[in-house]
Structure 1
Amino acid sequence: MTVTDAPVSVEKPRTPSRPAARRNNFELYSWLFMRLSGVVLLFLVLGHILIMLFVDGGVQRINFAFVAGRWASPFWQMWDLTMLWLAGLHGGNGLRTVINDYARKDGTRFWLKMLLYTAVLLTVVLGTFVLFTFDPNIG
């Protein structure tokens, strides 16, 4: 019997400590959302920076009256709202992926995700509240 005639045995690969993920498309949609929201955020943030820092006198012009005038327009409210929501969800989704990749214990992963979801929800809800209840006539 030669070396080439010996039966080949392949060892089973190590199994992960976590069970296999459910067979749904959540991760696919999450991946797609990250790419699409990243492109949209690129335009929103660059437009925001261009207007806030370079147009109409630069950063010296930004004050309470500037923000009040800007948020008097539904267009700018929706611009800033879209930027807030996409940034919150995009960042939260990215951190969710990091937690899934690096948290080894199920309990740790669960509590880190709950903390993350709470922080994202509070940030987005409070930001939305401020945007829609902003009163330029305070005082």
Structure 2
Amino acid sequence: MSATAEATNIAAPRSGRIDPKYTRSKGKSGNFEMLAWLFMRLSGVLLVVLIFVHLFSNLMVGEGINGIDFGLVAGKWASPIWQIWDLAMLWLAMLHGTNGVRTIIDDYTESDKVRFWLKIVLYAASTAIIMLGTLVIFTFEPCMVDSTGQLLDRSPSFCFDQAAFN
């Protein structure tokens, strides 16, 4: 082999030793990363369906964007189907986003201590948003009453129609 042939021989990527400052402490993760990868793909597909049905039902059916108000949300959440639909959208979107940000933290944070605290903040924020969102969806009461049990004037119109039947 000539000298020019040896000079153009390029070593394969990652064939050399990795600088120790770029290595992380290796814990036993098992199949977690593979399951997280699979979750991202499946939740992404499911989120596309959930979001497009949500948008279609809110924007294309009825009055369109002009019809989106407190009464529309209250009417939808009167149905357990829409409560579960919106709950699934909330949970999947938050878990999908949290997993994505976790991956970014793992990829771009060099210090184990900083990585740990960033993940703690991420998980705490995600847990709080999921819990508060779930609480709002299942405890939402559109027909507001005063201390005597009478409907308030600012209640949606369907509350007054419902009160007439009671």
CA distance in 1, matches of 2:29, 2:82: 41
Partners of 1:74 and 1:122 in 2: how far apart?
Answer: 23
Partner amino acid, structure 2, of 1:43? V
Question: Taking structure 1 as reference, are residues 86 and 132 closer, same or farther at Cα in structure 2, changes over 3 Å only?
Answer: same
CA displacement 1:99-134 (0-9 Å, x = unmatched)? 000011011101100010011001100000000000
Q: Which moved more, 1:14-23 or 1:103-112?
A: 14-23
- CA deviation map 1:4-46 (0-9, x unaligned): xxxxxxx852254312342500001000000000000000001
Which of 42, 50, 53 is the aligned partner of 2:48? 42
**Correspondence for 1:106:** 112
In structure 1, distance between residues paired with 2:72 and 2:116: 43
Runs of 4+ with deviation above 3 angstroms: none
Over aligned residue pairs, what C-alpha RMSD do you find? Answer: 1.6
CA positional deviation for 1:88: 0.4
Tell me the TM-score normalised to structure 2 length: 0.74
What letter is aligned with 1:101?
D
Aligned residue runs from structure 1 range 77-88, under 5 A: 77-88=83-94
Larger radius of gyration: 2
1:13 to 11, 17, 22: 17
Aligned pair in 2 of structure 1 residues 74, 62: CA closer, same or farther (>3 Å)? Answer: same
Matched, 1:63 2:69: yes
Using the aligned pairs only, state the percent identity. Answer: 50
CA distance in 1 between partners of 2:97 and 2:134 (Å): 17
The match for 1:115 is: 121
Highest RCO, 1 vs 2 (Cα 8 Å, sep ≥ 6): 1
> Which ranges in structure 1 are unaligned for 5 or more consecutive residues?
4-10
Residues 69-123 of structure 1, C-alpha deviations (whole Å, 9 max, x = no match):
1001000000000000000000000000000000110111011000100110011
How many residues are matched? 130
Q: What are the ranges of 5 or more consecutive residues in structure 2 without an aligned counterpart?
A: 4-14, 145-151, 153-166
How far off its partner does 1:53 sit? 1.4
